[in-house]
Structure 1
């Protein structure tokens, strides 16, 4: 079982989340009654939807980890699951995302931009073979 599969299975057991088809059409997702929380696009990459407020609050800490990619202007952060600690980080941030959606829901009529996978903003592996 991959780390992403394990994380997805755990999130799917949370009482406020349900399995769903991601709006981008790629992979698997979990949603709350307030909207999508996470898209699992591969065995390693997960897009997690946070509120603007949550991203601003945790941006400095998230940027210091190599497991998280923040895309300016996106409500989604991309997590690379390479270790069990990355799954722990995902579960913690998913809890933050769920609480933020419940406490500070998106304004009515606000256009939600697609996840980072649709923006080509996942992790890019550098080709260092010629170096």
Structure 2
């Protein structure tokens, strides 16, 4: 199977009225439970709205993102599915629950990670 990153930009959910957040939470958790039940869910999370720290290859830490950064991830899910079409279908479910568009990108294969998944029974 292939792993996909399904994500949305920080601020993509800003249009949701405060009183709707409990419903959004219930809907998004329902999709996560559905993905878990289908055996395709690997991990996901929303990210706190904050400035990121950038760690350079020499270990130096600076505040980021840099001004030229146009978009910052606000949340993500990682699914392991047999096709891009299935990843797009899960993204559509997530988009409906979260009330915002989702970006879908295929993750590069990693044989060591795949071996670990087999060891833990995935």
Whether the TM-score (by the shorter chain) exceeds 0.5 is: no
Which has the bigger relative contact order, CA under 8 A and spacing at least 6? 2
| Greater Cα radius of gyration, structure 1 or 2 | 2
What TM-score results when the alignment is normalised by the length of structure 1?
Answer: 0.34
Q: Which has the higher strand share?
A: 2
What TM-score results when the alignment is normalised by the length of structure 2?
Answer: 0.36
